Homo-oligomer: A and B are copies of this chain.
């Protein structure tokens, strides 16, 4: 397989996988394109490579910047903006975890707190099941919250080295 084919394949597949991750197809494709580009690209090049409109390119590039996965790069002597992606995949993963935690888990925790304050007689089976379930989910969420925070703070090296060994050891 030559580079051109491989690149096209990677962009298509990364786009497909992205949709499983709350990232839309185009956004993931742009990300893929920038991941394998040695140099920053301009909006025009992104549009051409992926055959997408200016508006679409612009919107998804901004979204990638919001997610902290892509940065604007200024090239001396160039008027227009260029974009480049963080290439260290561990940093990418950490960034995604961080963003999703913010957008999802952090929103859910207060809701659960509120729901756990439902009133009613706990001898009522329906009430008991409800409060037990919510309580269960709450504990899980709070645990996940702490664990993810630690992961986000943890540096790459530690994550790669220790966590693996740890999981490995615990499983034996």
Which residues of A approach B to under 8 Å, CB–CB? 1-3, 5-7, 9-10, 13, 17, 20-22, 35-38, 87-90, 93, 100, 103-104, 108, 111, 114-115, 117-120, 124-130, 132-134, 136-137, 139-140, 143, 146-147, 150-151, 153-154, 158, 160, 162-164, 166-168, 170-171
9 closest cross-chain pairs (CB), A and B: A150-B167, A6-B118, A38-B129, A38-B125, A89-B140, A150-B171, A36-B130, A89-B136, A3-B120
Q: Is the CB of A129 within 8 A of B2?
A: no
Q: Is the CB of B153 within 8 A of A171?
A: yes
Which chain B residues border A120 with CB–CB below 8 Å? 2-3
Nearest-CB residue, chain B, relative to A116: B6
Q: Is the CB of A118 within 8 A of B3?
A: yes
The oligomer's copy count stands at 2
Roughly how many angstroms separate A104 CA and B125 CA in the complex, as a whole number? 39
Q: Is the CB of A167 within 8 A of B140?
A: no
> How distant is A36 from chain B, measured CB to nearest CB, in Å?
5
> How distant is A77 from chain B, measured CB to nearest CB, in Å?
21
Contact of A118 among B2, B103, B167, B168 (CB under 8 A): B2
